[in-house]
Amino acid sequence: MKILRVICSPRGTASESYRLSQTLINHLIDSHQGCDFIITERGVTGLAHVDADYAEAVSKRRDPSNAHAAKGALLQSEQLIRELESADCLVIATPMHNLMVPSALKAWLDHVIQADRTFRITPEGKVGTLRDRPVFIAIASGSTFTGANARQPDFLRPWLKAVLASIGLLDVKFFSVEGTGQEPHALSATREKTAKESALYFSSRAPMPA
């Protein structure tokens, strides 16, 4: 089973979102005893934004595999799309920045959400062309954005769910460690609560096809 982990925090593997994503991957492995796992790590904090070559090629609906078109950011987009296509499961480890996804995750999405490649434009709107697969999103936030004690709005989850659906990824589940700016004892309690919730979820979820 191939897992693609997209790492969006500037703190990389030292981040709270990465820590949570590892918990989710451990649950996946535990719930699929006997399966072989290949985990691909994709750090996106240094990813270049789409450029003029990309914009020109996409606007003309060129074939991304065409040698003339596949240059600059478009070439990198094709590599990222193929990486996503080959994965059986996607795990996104991301912080919440200013109520929304960080720019690094937005840049990755701009690369993989591509007209006539990962979605088609129809009279009814966008139709995703990727096969659906489980997407697990590990969010870390300095403040709280869910429940009765929410201290800020949440634009990240509804937006991310919508854009992933536009390319065909509908099986999306969010997990979060909130209030990372709290005192250490409070953060430990939050981590423990999320760990229990994720363990319960994976124990009740049907295994993915081998």
126-136, pLDDT tens digit by residue?
999 999 999 99
CB 11 within 8 A of CB 46: no
**What type of residue is 97?**
H
Rounded Cα–Cα distance for residues 85 and 127 (Å): 16
What is the structure's pLDDT at 66?
54
Phi, psi of 145 (to 5 degrees): -130, 5
Please give the mean pLDDT across all residues of the chain.
91
Averaged pLDDT for residues 165-178: 97
pLDDT 10s digits, 87-100:
999 999 999 999 99
Contacts of 41 (CB under 8 A, 6+ apart): 5, 7
What is the structure's pLDDT at 43?
97
CB 138 within 8 A of CB 5: no
CATH class of domain segment(s) 2-204: alpha beta
pTM of the full predicted structure? 0.92
Averaged pLDDT for residues 4-29: 97
Contacts of 206 (CB under 8 A, 6+ apart): none
Looking at the predicted structure, is the pLDDT value of residue 154 above 60?
yes
Model confidence at 177, pLDDT cuts 50, 70, 90, reads: very high
Contacts of 52 (CB under 8 A, 6+ apart): 72
